Amino acid sequence: MISFDIKTLETLYNEQKDFFLGARINKIQQPTRREFIFALRNNGETRQFYVNINPQFYHACFMSKANAEKRVLEIPQKPPMFCMLLRKYLESSRIAKVNVPVNERILEFYIETYNELGEKIYLCLAFEFMGKHSNIILYNYDTNIIIGCAHNVGSEKSREREIFGGLPYVYPPKQSNVQKQWDSLVDVKPIITTVNDLVDDYYAEIIAQYKLKTLRAQYRTIISQKYKKIEKSLKQMQYKLNSDSDSDKYRLWGDLLMANLYALKDFSKSVEVYDYENDIQIELRLDETKTLKENATHFYKLYNKAKTARVKLTELIQESSMKKEYLGQILYSIDCAETIEELFEISPEVLENSAKKEVKNKVSDVMQINLEDGSRIFIGKNNKQNDYIISKLASDEDLWFHVHNCAGSHILLKSQNVTDDLILRCAKLAKEYSSVKDSSKIGVIYTKRKYLRKPPAAVLGYVTYKNEKEIVLD
């Protein structure tokens, strides 16, 4: 990764200082703990000055609208404390001077403003771009006392330089050892545009990739935990169902006792009877405080109880199996998401009722392949898109494709001339856009849209089907 070094900072400063000087700070926002946006207005123009002090990609630049979208900046309803502090002291003030100290990765805004008593004071907002020590510090230039900073640095973190409100502001100590020299943006990238745009484009892409990777890992962890939990629960329920499979014996024992009421004695510890179903003589242990008829009634109750439990357990297994399939589909959607917007689209499914960001209900563009003969193929990459394809785009005679018993995309074919080659092409797409794309001997089922059904209260994207055909692909 290319570093936001002294040379890049100085070049950016020289390029943009005319806009900085005299600019009014109209608005201050803090999307995350390490990201800040300053709306600066000068010469009739308002620009968004973006500052990032994340140790991995610390930098500053005026941010374009397109790159703001790439960075996925969501403003919290309740501003952090430091953001509120900056607003209190800096909003509506003007930048009187801007500076980059010699051989320092520090950009300084000197601001002329007024305190609560109406007295003119001078403040300095120092942006320090120094790897893991990156910070933003506001201090009183007249007294040199720190008012606040993005994050405090105590003695337990640094022996050489403590930073928090009430302490004097001092520059970081000079490095005595030889530091590793990182590639400079100014040297590596050909200057075909402004340095500001170069920095903005480069880091916007880096941040977009980082946020995509981070959010994907976060979502995958959440769903994987749920998947493992329901998988374990299914195994336990299946084991219980199998272990209770001999519940019919209670019915048989009740029948045998009722058939021998007059041949056996009441209040017995045990009796021997002939098991006509299995053609053997068996011994039944009884409750000696009860009659034969009462013991038979007890066996019937045990049978009915076990029968009811089996029905309920079977229903739970069916529901859990559908949930497992649904979670597997979400895992597939997470893995094939190519943009942060596609991940945000499945956020309601991933986060459920937990605290989550506000997500729009809009469905992102469904992948579409247009063929020369006028046929169209639609590919859904997540449950919302799959549901949209089936409920909004499909007609009764359209063909629907999906890998058999595996997570994957819904493939929809709209064509006036369905050929075997076209069906095979769609089947291959169904395999390609699935969790088993690298496997062999994979079955792909297909049927007409009119044979699909979405059960009441079914999860998003779930359908049942009939009259299907299957193609096995190597």
> Between residues 158 and 191, which one has the greater pLDDT?
158
Strands (E), 43-144: 45-52, 59-63, 94-99, 106-114, 120-128, 135-140
pLDDT of residue 453: 94
The mean pLDDT of the chain is 90
Mean pLDDT of 92-103: 94
pLDDT(75) > 80: yes
For the segment 58-67, what is each residue's pLDDT rounded down to a tens digit?
A: 999 999 999 9
410 close to 390: Cβ distance less than 8 angstroms:
yes
pLDDT of residue 269: 92
- Could you tell me the CATH number of the domain that includes residue 107? 2.30.310.10
Q: Model confidence at 460, in pLDDT bands (50, 70, 90)?
A: confident
pLDDT of residue 184: 65
At which of 165, 188, 211 does a domain end? 188
Residues 253, 251: Cα–Cα separation, whole Å: 5
pLDDT(189) > 70: no
pLDDT(177) > 50: no
Residue 332 lies in a domain: no
pLDDT(312) > 60: yes
204 close to 70: Cβ distance less than 8 angstroms:
yes
Residue 94 lies in a domain: yes
pTM: 0.74
Residues 80, 64: Cα–Cα separation, whole Å: 24
Q: Which of 116-120, 269-273, 414-418, 442-446 has the lowest mean pLDDT?
A: 116-120
Residue 57 lies in a domain: yes
Residue 14 lies in a domain: yes
pLDDT(192) > 80: no
For the segment 397-419, what is each residue's pLDDT rounded down to a tens digit?
A: 999 999 998 999 999 999 999 99
Residue 389 lies in a domain: yes
At which of 188, 223, 249 does a domain end? 188
Mean pLDDT of 222-236: 94
pLDDT of residue 243: 74
Mean pLDDT of 51-57: 95
Residues 28, 49: Cα–Cα separation, whole Å: 10
Q: Which of 80-94, 225-239, 314-328, 349-363 has the lowest mean pLDDT?
A: 349-363
Range of the domain at 163: 6-188
At which of 137, 164, 188 does a domain end? 188
Q: Model confidence at 179, in pLDDT bands (50, 70, 90)?
A: very low
Residue 170 lies in a domain: yes
Residue 32 lies in a domain: yes
pLDDT of residue 305: 87
Strands (E), 301-457: 367-370, 376-379, 399-403, 411-414, 442-448, 452-453
pLDDT(283) > 80: yes
How many structural domains are present in the chain? 2
Cβ atoms within 10 Å, residue 434: 22
Please name the amino acid found at residue 115. N
Residue 215 lies in a domain: no
How far is residue 276 from each of residues 122, 280, 282, measured CA to CA in Å? 103, 7, 10
pLDDT(188) > 60: no
Residues comprising the chain, all counted: 474
pLDDT of residue 306: 84
The backbone torsions φ and ψ at residue 14, rounded to the nearest 5 degrees and listed phi first, read -65, -35
Q: Model confidence at 458, in pLDDT bands (50, 70, 90)?
A: confident
pLDDT of residue 180: 46
For the segment 230-253, what is each residue's pLDDT rounded down to a tens digit?
A: 999 999 998 888 776 677 888 899
407 close to 431: Cβ distance less than 8 angstroms:
no
